[in-house]
Amino acid sequence: MATTKKTIQSTPTRPGEKVRGLITRARIHRRILEIGKQIRADFPDEPLLLVGVLKGAVFFLADLARGIPGEVSLDFIAVSSYGKDTKTSGQVRLTKDLDASIEGRTVIVVEDILDTGMTLQYLLRILEQRKPKRLRVAVLLDKPERRVAAVHADYVGFTIPNEFVVGFGLDYAERYRNLQGVAVLTLKTPGKAEKPVR
């Protein structure tokens, strides 16, 4: 797989943190345009509402929205997990709701990454209750090895191995979202071996 060496090298990291390019900006861009066309082909005559999950999906959503021809509107929703172990407990909380009703509308939830699936499972349950005409899911990245909840994404940018990734919206402690491409982040404490994040 091509790396984003130039971009990654110019990114300041903190001591002990290391990033290694995984997917280049150019590849991401090409793939998002494909997905945009696919979405429009699936719903040729419908106004679409893209619901971005803050904050990670912002970059993906911005490109995807411009890659879908025709009528597209945007809204945003935000969630947070309770504490550190919540990935497996499934405790997710809504911290920002949508601005408008989705009843009768064709909605595509746009998320940065599908990992355990807990976040999307929670969101889809809430949104389904609001009676959209259709509810679909688009994710930039899919890490199927970590799946706990049975969530299905209709549109997937890239399937990736079980590694902690940053960039193109994805963060580590709120940093690295602004990397051009997607990179693997590893941590190294002095005297100890390099270790994966989480």
Active site residues: 115
Under the binding rule (CB under 6 A), the answer on residue 165 touching ligand IMP is yes
User: How many angstroms separate the CA atoms of 150 and 62, rounded?
Assistant: 27
Shortest Å distance, C-beta 30 to ligand IMP: 22
Under the binding rule (CB under 6 A), the answer on residue 91 touching ligand IMP is no
Under the binding rule (CB under 6 A), the answer on residue 13 touching ligand IMP is no
DSSP-derived 3-state class of residue 28: helix
Choose among 186, 171, 185: nearest CA to 59: 171
Out of 32, 118, 179, 182, point to the residue binding ligand IMP (CB under 6 A). 118
Number of residues counted as binding ligand IMP (CB under 6 A)? 15
User: How many angstroms separate the CA atoms of 5 and 10, rounded?
Assistant: 9
User: How many angstroms separate the CA atoms of 155 and 160, rounded?
Assistant: 14
Out of 111, 155, 179, 180, point to the residue binding ligand IMP (CB under 6 A). 111
Stretch that binds ligand IMP, among 6-14, 24-32, 69-77, 111-119 (CB under 6 A): 111-119
Burial 110-127 (b: 16+ CB within 10 A, else e): bbbbbbbbbbbebbbeeb
Decide the pairing of beta strands 182-187 and 165-166: antiparallel
Out of 77, 113, 179, 182, point to the residue binding ligand IMP (CB under 6 A). 113
Under the binding rule (CB under 6 A), the answer on residue 117 touching ligand IMP is yes
User: How many angstroms separate the CA atoms of 195 and 187, rounded?
Assistant: 5
Stretch that binds ligand IMP, among 3-11, 101-109, 110-118, 126-134 (CB under 6 A): 110-118
| Contact set for ligand IMP, span 49-68 (CB under 6 A) | 56
Contacts to ligand IMP by CB under 6 A: 56, 87, 111-119, 164-166, 170
